[in-house]
Amino acid sequence: MDEGSTITTLKILIIGESGVGKSSLMLRFVDDVFDPEQAATIGVDFRVTSMTIDGNRVKLAIWDTAGQERFRTLTPSYYRGAQGVICVYDVTNRSSFEKLAHWMTEVDTYCTKEDAVKMLVANKIDMPNREVSREEGLKFAKRHRTLFIEASAKTKEGVQCTFEELIEKIIQTPNLWDNERPRFVLGQTENNGGGSCGC
Ligand SMILES: Nc1nc2c(ncn2[C@@H]2O[C@H](COP(=O)(O)OP(=O)(O)OP(=O)(O)O)[C@@H](O)[C@H]2O)c(=O)[nH]1
């Protein structure tokens, strides 16, 4: 099937405390792999992939940042130009949830695109020792006007949806991306009720 040419390249940033599963989510999404002994990220990791949303092909540059403070000296440059920010916490680690306000402040401070779309991801829902309920996550997301999803990089649950919902919202915000191509029509696929990812 001809999926047409790429309409834009989007910069997506993944942030959150160390060990919450940022790299694991990115690697599950890009390579469909999971490493139970995933090494901590040093500085920043970077992957390019592409996906088709509503019949439109977009290229994604995914920046996986290190959660450890000592690697975050280049923080402002990570945020520059990002159209989407995925903020991750670990549902089995309450302190990673309590640090979310700090991460939101960072987003507000350093994001250069005012309308950048934020997605809150509650990761590791496959684990039994949960310390943060879904309701708490939802409440935080509402208060900070972010999208919200519960996920597991291990079992794949919610991972595809995380990226699909985020990219769909970005595409629906034309201010955010290069719209030099006026012939591009939003939602050009038919019969899919406006392109919901079915999450
Ligand atoms: N059970 C379970 N373990 C996970 C999940 N996601 C990540 N992990 C594990 O949690 C640990 C940390 O994962 P990383 O992906 O390295 O976390 P990170 O947020 O990138 O960490 P930094 O690079 O230090 O910022 C690894 O041992 C992963 O295998 C998940 O959904 N379920």
Percent of the chain's residues with pLDDT above 70: 87
Provide CB contacts within 8 A for 143, sequence distance 6+.
none
Q: Which atom of ligand 1 is nearest to the CA of 123?
A: 31
Report pLDDT for 174: 83
166-197: pLDDT as tens digits = 999 999 998 888 654 444 555 544 444 444 45
**From the CB of 154, is ligand 1 less than 6 Å away?**
yes
Cα–Cα dist 166/58, whole Å: 12
Are the beta carbons of 88 and 16 closer than 8 angstroms?
A: yes
95-122: pLDDT as tens digits = 999 999 999 999 999 999 999 999 999 9
Instruction: Record the pTM.
Output: 0.90
Is the Cα dihedral 150, 152, 157, 162 positive or negative?
Answer: positive
42-60: pLDDT as tens digits = 999 999 999 998 888 999 9
Residue 126 sits at φ, ψ, to 5 deg, of: -75, -15
